[in-house]
Amino acid sequence: METTLRGVGVSHGVAIGEVRHMGTAVLEPPAKQITADEAEREQGRARQAVEAVSADLIARGQLAGGEAQHVLEAQAMIATDPELMADVDRRIAVGSTAERGVYDAFASYRDLLAGAGEYMAGRVADLDDVRNRIVARLLGVPMPGVPDSDEPYVLIARDLAPADTALLDPALVLGFVTEEGGPTSHSAILARALGVPAIVALPGAGEIAEGTVIAVDGSTGDLFVEPSEEKRAELEAAAAERKAALAASSGPGATSDGHKVPLLANVGGPADVPAAVEAGAEGVGLFRTEFLFLDDSKKAPSEEKQIESYRKVLEAFPEGRVVVRVLDAGADKPLDFLTPGDEPNPALGVRGLRSLLDHPDVLRTQLTALAKAAEGLPVYLEVMAPMVADRTDAKAFADACRAAGLRAKFGAMVEIPSAALRARSILQEVEFLSLGTNDLAQYAFAADRQVGAVSRLQDPWQPALLDLIAMSAEAAKAEGKSCGVCGEAASDPLLACVLTGLGVTSLSMGAASIPYVRATLAKYTLAQCERAAAAARACDSAEEARVAAQAVLSGE
């Protein structure tokens, strides 16, 4: 009998197939005691396992490339964290086996993360995955992971670690569903990069029996258990229609009446550029430079290394627009040389621009490297600061850009509600705004972007979030300046129309979403988008807003 479940759709497309479940978690190792003369041997075993897991994560990252590589390299750094290893050695020295020492040390660190504010709690899943890999290697058992199958299937898991998501084979894994996670979790971001339909934050999905046929709609978040022939035909027809629309869509982003909406790509470095170019991106709306810095948490990359990386991205978009976000460190992206290690709540502490203003040499080197990388290129370079709270922040950043001799537009990200509320004030110091909807939702609703339990508050259709976006766009229009969106909200084709109706002037997203957004925008006039935006803002919930906007655009 057909039943319908609903989670959060995070990656477009439809997948229909049999369920396969993720392997079971590693069992807790026994609390077996060792003698003092066995300690050195056990410490050696632990180090070898840690090094092997770290090397495996790096190798997986190199195979996956792009943003997945940066995520997996960050996980490898967790595995070799010196404080964690020192704790493992101490536990083994007083009688624990290697596997028990690793398990208990990671458990202790896990408790610290879980109690260190919601941002850091969001890294617990990554930490658990690293622990499981090390313990499995020490126990000599297979690492739980993606099931072996010769036939295509739909994968269901409690959550998916980046190491598993990055290497999913789209030829076998038709789509995936997780019980936990959120729309901005690592697994969601990597699913979009892979082009695999996916739903997250769907409690109870794990109870669906192995082998059951399900249909996953990654656009709506709907999961159909044992769909009828009629439902299958309906979903397949909708998927075919989308595919035909994508094939017919090309050129710059615009509404059907010619209102231009540049469609830009979010990239983490040179490896992400080919996909962006292939998707027809008109430039880069968010160049996340922090991934270059995460290669070594102990020190910043040299000016020469930064110039090399930046120039590769700038060269790919001759006469296009490239918006670079300066280093956004802190919270879930700590760097030993830059961010405090003892903040009680890093998400509300010294992160983003605050860290850079505390370390002006790091900011100056990055801005100088950007200036040199752009020399002689026809690219339209724009540089923006993360976590701008007010006009004082905006002025400090603009002054630093001028002092570095940077010939580019200077902008501010709107990620804190205060920046949306005082957008006109901030625009007295900078030339454009860029809305980071992921963090803006997080701070507006006090809802961690990595926690599935509060994912409804991370839904970018929330009317209160739409109000903040509209406020920012209206301020930019009044000042004769631009206001783009570079958060994941831009990757939702229907919401892209609403954002256009709110007055947003450009949209930036993962490369895989660009064709979907381009094709959808081309179906509607600017006036229709404006009416859909007004209808969405008049609602009281995200679901009502989505339905209201759809009704307007479909002419109901």
Q: Which of 70, 186, 359, 401 is catalytic?
A: 186
Active-site pick, 483, 486, 497, 539? 486
Phi, psi of 266, rounded to the nearest 5 degrees: -90, 125
Burial of residue 318 (CB within 10 Å: 0-12, 13-18, 19+) is exposed
DSSP state of 252: S
CA distance readout (Å), 460 to 255, 263, 324, 335, 468: 21, 18, 23, 29, 11
Q: Report the alpha-carbon distance of residue 398 to residue 336 in Å, rounded.
A: 26
Active site residue 186: yes
Query: Is 508 exposed, middle or buried, given 0-12, 13-18 or 19+ CB atoms closer than 10 A?
Result: buried
Position of tokens 């458990």?
107
Q: Distance between terminal CA atoms of the chain?
A: 31
Tokens matching residue 474:
């209206």
Bridge partners of 14, per DSSP, are: 217
Nearest Cα to Cα of residue 6 among 290, 215, 159: 215
Q: Identify the CA nearest to 550 among candidates 494, 499, 501.
A: 494
DSSP 355-380: HHHHSHHHHHHHHHHHHHHHTT---E
What is the phi/psi pair of residue 378, to 5°?
-85, 10
What is the spatial distance between Cα 155 and Cα 157, in angstroms, rounded to a whole number?
7
Handedness of CA 348, 352, 356, 359 (dihedral sign): positive
- Give the catalytic positions in this structure: 186, 486
